Amino acid sequence: MDLSGSGLDLPADLRARLRDISFRTPAAAPVGPLGRQMSRSRGSGLEFAQYRGYVAGDSPRLVDWRLYARSDRLFVRESERDSPLSVYLVLDTSASMAQVDQARPGWSRLHAARRIAACALEIALREDERFGLLAFTAAGPRWLASNAGRSQRDRCLAALATLAPDAGWPEHAVLDGFAARIERGALVLVLSDGFDPAPIAFAKRLAAAGRSVALLRLLTAEEREFPFSGALKLTDPETGAERECDAAGVRAGFLQRFGEARAQLVAELASAGVAAAEHWLDAPEDGVLRALFAPGRSLRA
């Protein structure tokens, strides 16, 4: 699959940094159930179950070499294997996701969201989890129910590559219909700039219905620093409304109000059982996932 130019072709150094990120955090589960029920199947899970004889194709990592030294026979340690976790990626494709930084023309919030989603797919694939996708486009909803394997990863990447910032969020009845399709106990990552109330309400609804939910908020470096000077015309990408102002005169007030609004949203989400993390467009894409899932981290609010 040719992903060049889509932002979905992950650089080698980014792939390497994903290796220690796991959706099954060792410290604690995310808010709500992680769906980590023990299955009856045997495999390379965490809880030791029994030994069995080595057969061709078994990983050498599973061989008990100490037992081999004592018995001169190869035995494999079997464990109770965790049942797969379903990971859903929900992407905002509203007009404000087209926003870019002046320092990086052509790289929008949606580009970053798609790349973070591609990172999440690689983590889920490595961990043998199930994963799915939901986005609303001008041509209609893009829905992929959770499944596992490289073919499913490729289907998700192909869907991500087609997304454009050209659609708003549907009415609540449509969102509720898709929420019902997401398995109870699933992990749902909502990638949005958080300026539209619809993805916020959707995340809360999912959390209340027993899904583990995190909002990954996509923000520009210019929103963080407001590095403008002189006369400035601000345009709301959703409504087209314009406002002219003096950049130096409004900078301090903007940064204060924006910081307060960000903190208020995090608190609002936490009270609803939704974890939150921010990604700035000038930061590495693994950072927001590391903030939520790296060893020793937890989504617990």
Torsion of CA 213, 154, 193, 145, to 10 degrees: -40
Determine which helix (DSSP H) or strand (DSSP E) holds 36, and give its type and residue range: none
Percent of the chain with pLDDT over 70: 84
Structural contact between residues 45 and 82, judged by C-beta atoms closer than 8 angstroms? yes
| Two structure tokens written together for 258 | 């924006």
**Location of structure tokens 């007030």:** 253
Q: What angle do CA 72, 76, 82 make, to 5 degrees?
A: 165
Determine which helix (DSSP H) or strand (DSSP E) holds 63, and give its type and residue range: none
Domain boundaries, the chain: 12-34+84-293, 38-82
pLDDT tens by residue, 231-274 = 888 788 778 888 888 888 899 999 999 999 999 999 999 999 99
Lowest mean pLDDT among 108-112, 130-134, 224-228, 243-247: 243-247
d(CA 200, CA 183): 19
Region at 57 (left for phi over 0; alpha for psi -120 to 50; beta for the rest): left
| Two structure tokens written together for 197 | 């109330």
Q: Does this model's pTM top 0.75?
A: yes
* Cβ neighbours of residue 273 closer than 8 Å, sequence gap 6 or more: 31, 32, 204, 207, 208, 213, 301
Fold classification of 12-34+84-293 is Rossmann fold (3.40.50)
pLDDT tens by residue, 151-198 = 999 999 999 999 999 999 999 999 999 999 999 889 999 999 999 999
